[in-house]
């Protein structure tokens, strides 16, 4: 009689361990993707802003020098 309880305990322990491991892997992958996306996004945004303001101030400096 006790054998079936040992079997159930082993089964559910394995099942929930596997489920937890899968969930951890999934959220790690999702977090890694999010980190890569936002890193790329903010790097691109910062690069665009730097290029924009550099161009803007360069044009402004040329414009004021012509005055």
What is the spatial distance between Cα 54 and Cα 51, in angstroms, rounded to a whole number?
Answer: 5
Residue 10 belongs to a domain: no
In angstroms, the Cα distances linking 36 to 13, 15, 26, 42 are: 34, 31, 15, 10
Q: What digits encode the pLDDT tens for the residues 13-56?
A: 888 888 888 888 888 888 888 888 888 888 888 888 888 888 88
pLDDT for position 20: 82
pLDDT bucket at 1, cuts 50 / 70 / 90 = low
Tokens matching residue 67: 């005055």
Instruction: Give the count of domains, the chain.
Output: 1
Does residue 60 sit within a domain? yes
In a domain, 50, yes or no: yes
CA distances from 39 to 33, 36, 42, 43 (A): 10, 5, 5, 6
Is the overall model pTM greater than 0.95, yes or no?
no
Assess whether pLDDT exceeds 80 at residue 5.
no
């Amino acid at each position: 009689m006790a054998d079936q309880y040992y079997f159930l305990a082993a089964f559910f322990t394995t099942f929930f361990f596997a489920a937890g491991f899968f969930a951890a892997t999934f959220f790690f992958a999702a977090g890694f993707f999010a980190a890569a996306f936002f890193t790329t996004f903010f790097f691109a945004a910062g690069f665009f802003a730097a290029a924009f303001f550099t161009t803007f101030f360069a044009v402004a400096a040329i414009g004021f020098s012509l005055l």
